[in-house]
Amino acid sequence: MTSTGLPVVGVTRYVTPLREGGSLPGIVEADDLGTYVCKFRGAGQGMRVLVAEVIVAGLAERLGLRTPRLVALDLDPAIARYEADEEVQDLLNASAGLNLGTDFLPGSFGFDGHVPGGSTDAVRVLWLDAFVANVDRSWRNPNLLLWHGNLWVIDHGAALYFHHGWGGGVTDPGRFAAQPWSADDHIFRDHAAELPSVDVELRNLLDSRVFSELLSQVPDEWLEPVPGADDPAAVRAAYVDFLTARLGTRQWLPQAAA
């Protein structure tokens, strides 16, 4: 039995691919009668992107943003038998075990440039993306949804890219802590001047205890051992170190760098 803080539900049916997404996420139904957008562990980017999704969604919530509820989707590749599309079949076969599910928001639509409720959410999104070094929130690809009159953030697999450099062992948290982040392509870059006015408030919502709680949500089986961190607990601790180090600096705030 694998340890995960996320609720685990079983996939009962693969419904349809979401072709717009680069990672071929798909809509699935599960045995809790829920409908989820499934991010597959067998997709090209590997399981680290799922880890980033869980951590950053948790951070978003702590910062007062809305993001779809997450579950771990247990996939029995036997459902691939009912799938005609060969690419999807391969993906399902490569994804036995726990995958990431984000609650499907029916009737949501893509961001249209108007932030409901003023600029509060926009500044928070910008701060979050600077903190986690998310490069995936541009006008081309906002990864924002509007649902029931509110702004929802999705798709955080491209954040925390430092972990892609862990193949030879856990790298130096100090480097991530000092890594600047550019708001130039960010959909809310025009709000950068407001960052100093929310920085202290948002920082105070986070600490290493919060980071540990978020890491406890991540299933063990997504936390692949690397040299120097050879079990899930050690990998979790490495993430907590990186996030804590980043929280201790301000170079990454676009305003501070200017």
Ligand X SMILES: Nc1ncnc2c1ncn2[C@@H]1O[C@H](COP(=O)(O)OP(=O)(O)O)[C@@H](O)[C@H]1O
Q: Is 18 in the site for ligand X (CB under 6 A)?
A: yes
Binding of ligand X by 34 (CB under 6 A): no
Which residues are 251's β-sheet partners?
Answer: none
The site for ligand X, by CB under 6 A, has a size of 18
Minimum separation from the CB atom of position 153 to ligand X (A) = 10
Query: Judged by CB under 6 A, does residue 59 bind ligand X?
Result: no
At 187, phi and psi to the nearest 5?
-60, -30
CA separation for the pair 246, 55 (Å, rounded): 14
**Whole-number CA gyration radius for the chain:** 18
Of these, 22, 116, 196, 227, which contacts ligand X (CB under 6 A)?
Answer: 22
Least distance to ligand X, CB of residue 49, Å: 8
Q: Looking at 98-106, 217-225, 238-246, 248-256, which segment touches ligand X (CB under 6 A)?
A: 98-106
Residue showing tokens 């799938």 = 83
- CB count within 10 Å of CB 11 equals 22
Minimum CB–partner distance for residue 152 and ligand X (Å): 8
* Minimum distance of ligand X from residue 209's CB (angstroms): 28
Q: What's the CA gap between 119 and 213, in Å, rounded?
A: 29
Q: Within a 13 Å sphere around the CA of 237, how many CA atoms are in the beta-carbon half? A: 9
Which residues make up the interface to Mg ion (CB under 5 A)? 143, 155
Residue 226, interface with ligand X (CB under 6 A)? no
